[in-house]
Amino acid sequence: MLILRQSISMTFFKKVAPYIFNRYFVVSLGFVIWMLFFDQRDFFQQKERRTELNKLEAAKNYYQKEIEQTKGQLNNLQNNPAAIEKYARERYLLRRDGEEVYLFEDTMPSTEKK
């Protein structure tokens, strides 16, 4: 049994050895190893940069949506006097003479992400 295994492994080695010891294969393998691990722009740094880029693109999309919402609010405030009054009352707690203002605090935790 041991002799059979040795002969199988020897025949496999004899078939594969010329390809392994071929100078082009050795140089190509060295190049691949160099590019994966030792180069300035190795595989792992590229992977980190790709994940960072995805995070930054997600943040960019979020802020673009926020900008669009803010522009809509600004347009509404510039063109609608009722919106100005509502904004002043809610934001700055302004009131008319003779009115009383009641403030209610929200006791439920917010689930929105900012």
Residue 63, in any domain of the structure? yes
Q: Does residue 32 sit in the same domain as residue 74?
A: no
Q: Does residue 21 sit in the same domain as residue 57?
A: no
Q: What is the pTM of this model?
A: 0.53
Structural domain harbouring 8: 1-39
Q: Does residue 23 sit in the same domain as residue 52?
A: no
Q: Does residue 68 sit in the same domain as residue 34?
A: no
Residue 2 is given by DSSP the state H
* Tens-level pLDDT at each residue, the chain (114 residues): 555 566 777 787 788 788 777 888 889 989 988 888 888 888 888 899 999 999 999 999 999 999 999 999 999 989 988 888 888 887 877 777 787 777 778 888 777 665
100 CA to centre of own chain: 48
For residue 25, what are the contacts with CB-CB under 8 A and spacing of at least 6?
Answer: 19
| pLDDT reported for residue 52 | 97
Total domain count, the chain: 2
| pLDDT reported for residue 5 | 60
Q: Does residue 35 sit in the same domain as residue 49?
A: no
